[in-house]
């Protein structure tokens, strides 16, 4: 797999360099034109499913670009949009013919409007807000129209700033009331005092945002918005990265990094958490979760810096810092609740990110089930002796077998993927031999198979997935499901059935154009994954055999939530044999599970919580009158408190970690702390408990009866 991709990009490099030889002198001197040309060449020749470059494409790019540069419609006026509209159906032609007319026009106007908005903000924030007036602020940009004139735009800024100040007044007032309850000598500030303090705080944050972010945006930053708007119509994962240190965008699993170690992305103007590395400082702290939005970042006791609409690389620099220092993050949960969490930066011990196992014993039946947690499909391609998840999984299975377990649970929740070849090898640990996945590029298709006869574990198998299980996790779960080798339990997976590759654009130009380097990088989607039954994992993901209530049950989550995802498609079915097809029917196992779930108060409560999240997500209009806002916030907080104790009870199962043999690892205090936390999570996890019960039911089936 890796060799084939490398070969493909050698060809890509050569063809692109040759193509640039025909550039005009103007194009050679214009860095942005060069970048656009190279990107167009790459995606047109190698993208797995390039869209038709036509008027529909042009409209999509146009809308995406405006969303990127002015998501909340606080800068541009309707008169600007009227000027832009003449380009709405010609961006496709400009992309093909090597023109940047729309970008050049828009850049000049957007830069000017940003300077104007800074003036509006400074005027508005100097005067106290009147919170006795009944008014509302709309936070859903899709419900907003472009402002017809400057006065209309000032009103929008006024309401936006008023809402920010109102929110801080409420939080500060609640905090001082709690302090007064503990110590009645605390002097309570008046509303007027709170308003002034809150307004000064918002003023400081927005001043920093304008001075350090918006007004320092360079032309290449806006150009990145423009070309990424173009590439977004190919698929959500094909994108351009301006010439910056790649460390700003990736967290490596091959070493150590001093940080909070959470993977971040920028979504709709917000820095959003997409992954938490097990054993990392943020994992240890326990409050930061996937889908949390980071609103502000503060270093220790310093004033927080607003990172909403901040460029991702700049926000990452604020969050990173030396080992032992504290970063305070103001985050917004998916239910709208905001809170400040403190994380002590530390070095991540990568050992904690590898596959690990424990034995779970059901206190009611004394059944012993092996539980393996695989956080990612990791592999070290730069070191032939480096750790690989397939090798580690084999070791964990062999250790569990020696403990006379009766079944195995493989937990792939929040596993976002990784090495395809290791995924295929892990499938091979559970089947005799045969295909595991099909991969299709623009012009070719290939099947990846396990060729080694025999299994490491041929007993009962349950695979746990959730909405954040993606890519290689979906391939593994799909293969196990298609072979009917085991039972998949959880929720429908993310639906990312595609392969991307990074390429340095500097490699695409010859030495005569060295004056325009650096050019940046592109991440392009080269291939799509297909199950062995012929269906793609793209978009639809993998639907579990047993579906459990989870927080995002009623919310569009995953690939289908993104703009312009690749469609679900099919290809011919691979040749494979169902696992023990005559005797393995999981119908009774599935029915038994659903009976337990129906009687389980936790899963019933989770369904209620999932409905609440959907309701919260649909709320986009908030009151700006103080008393009304206070009632609204208190009702929201009370509704959230109802779910605070969910999943905290210890369940009727014991868990024993299968210890490693490395003595230095065993004596590491950080690892001991990690294992203690992990153990506590497992014995209170209702999903693992139900997976254990399912595994016990599978063990009772005739096709899994122990041999005499």
- pLDDT tens digits, one per residue of 393-425: 999 999 999 999 999 999 999 998 999 999 999
Give the bridge partners for 488, in sequence order. 463
Q: Over 60: is that where the pLDDT of 11 sits?
A: no
Give the domain ranges of the chain: 51-232, 257-347, 350-500+527-704
Determine the straight-line distance between the first and last CA of the chain, rounded to whole angstroms: 42
Architecture of the CATH domain 350-500+527-704: Alpha-Beta Complex (3.90)
Sequence-distant (6+) residues with CB within 8 A of 210 are 114, 117, 118, 121
Contact 397, 457 (CB under 8 A): yes
Going by C-alpha positions, the residue among 455, 445, 498 that lies closest to residue 480 is 455
User: If you average pLDDT over every residue of the chain, what do you get?
Assistant: 87
Question: What is the pLDDT at residue 14?
Answer: 35
- Backbone φ and ψ for 621, nearest 5 degrees, come out as -115, 130
**DSSP structural state of residue 388:** B
d(CA 481, CA 631): 49
Contact 429, 481 (CB under 8 A): no
d(CA 391, CA 405): 20
Q: Can you tell me the mean pLDDT for 243-255?
A: 43
Architecture of the CATH domain 257-347: Roll (2.30)
d(CA 20, CA 28): 9
Per-residue CA distances from 32 to 369, 517, 519 (Å): 58, 11, 9
Q: Over 50: is that where the pLDDT of 210 sits?
A: yes
Helices (H), 88-218: 91-97, 101-125, 150-182, 191-212
Contact 425, 455 (CB under 8 A): no
Tokens 């998501």 -> residue:
71
Greater pLDDT, 477 or 504: 477
**DSSP structural state of residue 576:** -
Q: Can you tell me the mean pLDDT for 443-454?
A: 94
Q: Over 80: is that where the pLDDT of 260 sits?
A: no
d(CA 394, CA 346): 31
Q: Is 224 exposed, middle or buried (0-12, 13-18, 19+ CB in 10 A)?
A: buried
d(CA 386, CA 192): 62
Question: What is the pLDDT at residue 669?
Answer: 67
Q: Over 90: is that where the pLDDT of 121 sits?
A: yes
d(CA 282, CA 666): 22
Q: What is the DSSP string of 464-533?
A: EE-TT--THHHHHHHHHHHTT-SEEEES------EEEEEEEGGGGS-GGGGGG----EEEEEEEEEE-TT
Q: Can you tell me the mean pLDDT for 529-533?
A: 97
Q: For 25-145, where are the E strands, in sequence order?
A: 136-138
Contact 517, 509 (CB under 8 A): yes
d(CA 380, CA 382): 5
d(CA 471, CA 275): 14
What's the pTM? 0.86
Q: Can you tell me the mean pLDDT for 370-389?
A: 87
Q: Over 80: is that where the pLDDT of 595 sits?
A: yes
Q: How many CA within 13 A on the CB side of residue 193?
A: 7
d(CA 678, CA 686): 14
Q: How many CA within 13 A on the CB side of residue 225?
A: 28
pLDDT single digits (tens) 581-593: 667 889 999 999 9
Q: Is 581 helix (H, G, I), strand (E, B) or coil?
A: coil
Q: Over 50: is that where the pLDDT of 304 sits?
A: yes
């Amino acid at each position: 797999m890796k060799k084939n991709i490398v070969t493909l990009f050698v060809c890509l490099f050569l063809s692109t360099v040759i193509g640039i030889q025909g550039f005009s002198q103007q194009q050679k001197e214009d860095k942005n034109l060069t970048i656009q040309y190279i990107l167009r060449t790459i995606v047109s020749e190698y993208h797995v499913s390039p869209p038709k470059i036509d008027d529909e494409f042009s409209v999509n790019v146009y809308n995406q670009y405006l969303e990127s540069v002015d998501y909340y419609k606080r800068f541009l006026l309707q008169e600007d949009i009227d000027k832009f509209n003449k380009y709405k159906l010609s961006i496709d032609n400009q992309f093909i013919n090597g023109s940047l007319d729309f970008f050049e026009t828009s850049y000049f106007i957007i830069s000017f409007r940003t300077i104007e908005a800074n003036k509006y903000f400074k005027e508005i924030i100097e005067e106290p807000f009147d919170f006795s007036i009944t008014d509302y602020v709309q936070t859903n940009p899709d419900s907003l129209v472009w402002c017809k004139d400057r006065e209309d735009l000032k009103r929008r800024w006024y309401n936006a700033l008023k809402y920010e100040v109102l929110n801080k007044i409420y939080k500060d007032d609640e905090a001082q009331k709690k302090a007064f309850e503990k110590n009645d000598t605390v002097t309570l500030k008046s509303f007027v005092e709170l308003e002034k303090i809150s307004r000064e705080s918002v003023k400081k944050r927005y001043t920093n945002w304008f001075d350090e972010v918006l007004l320092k945006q360079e032309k290449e930053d806006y150009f990145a918005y423009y070309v990424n708007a173009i590439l977004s119509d190919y698929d959500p994962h094909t994108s351009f990265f301006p010439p910056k240190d790649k460390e700003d965008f990736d967290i490596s699993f091959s070493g150590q990094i001093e940080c909070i170690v959470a993977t971040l992305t920028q979504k709709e103007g917000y820095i959003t958490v997409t992954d938490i590395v097990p054993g990392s400082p943020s994992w240890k702290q326990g409050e930061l979760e996937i889908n949390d939005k980071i609103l502000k970042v503060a270093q220790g006791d310093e004033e927080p810096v607003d990172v909403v609409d901040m460029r991702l690389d700049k926000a990452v620099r604020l969050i990173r810092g030396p080992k032992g220092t504290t970063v305070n993050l103001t985050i917004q949960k998916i239910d709208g609740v905001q809170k400040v969490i403190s994380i002590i930066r530390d070095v991540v011990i990568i050992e904690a990110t590898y596959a690990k196992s424990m034995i779970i014993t059901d206190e009611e039946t004394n059944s012993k089930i092996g539980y393996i947690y695989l956080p990612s499909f990791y592999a070290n391609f730069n070191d032939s002796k480096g750790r690989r998840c397939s090798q580690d999984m084999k070791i964990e299975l062999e250790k569990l077998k020696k403990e006379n377990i009766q079944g195995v649970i493989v937990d792939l929740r929040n596993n976002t993927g990784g090495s395809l070849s290791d995924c295929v090898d892990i499938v091979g640990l559970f089947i005799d031999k045969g295909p595991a996945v099909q991969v299709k590029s623009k012009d070719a298709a290939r099947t990846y198979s396990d060729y080694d006869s025999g299994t490491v574990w041929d007993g009962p198998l349950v695979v746990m997935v959730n909405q954040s299980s993606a890519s290689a996790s979906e391939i593994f779960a799909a293969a196990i499901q298609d072979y009917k080798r085991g039972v998949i339990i959880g929720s429908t997976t993310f639906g990312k059935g595609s392969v991307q590759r990074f390429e340095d654009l500097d490699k695409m130009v010859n030495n005569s154009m060295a004056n325009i380097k650096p050019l940046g990088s592109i991440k392009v989607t080269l291939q799509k994954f297909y199950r062995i039954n012929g269906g793609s994992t793209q978009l639809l993901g993998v639907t579990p055999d047993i579906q459990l209530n989870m927080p995002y049950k009623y919310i569009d989550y995953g690939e289908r939530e993104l703009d312009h995802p690749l469609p679900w498609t099919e290809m011919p079915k691979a040749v494979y044999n169902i696992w023990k097809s005559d005797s393995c029917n999981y119908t009774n196992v599935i029915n038994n599970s659903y009976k337990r779930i129906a009687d389980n108060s936790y899963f019933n409560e989770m369904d209620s919580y999932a409905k609440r999240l959907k309701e919260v997500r649909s709320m986009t209009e908030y009151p700006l009158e103080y008393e009304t806002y206070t009632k609204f916030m208190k009702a929201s907080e009370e509704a959230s408190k109802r779910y605070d104790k969910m999943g905290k009870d210890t369940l009727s199962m014991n868990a024993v970690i299968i210890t490693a043999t490395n003595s230095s690892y065993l004596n590491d205090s950080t690892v001991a702390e990690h294992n203690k936390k992990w153990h506590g999570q497992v014995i209170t996890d209702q999903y693992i408990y139900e997976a254990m019960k399912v595994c016990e039911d599978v063990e009772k089936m005739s096709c899994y009866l122990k041999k005499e």
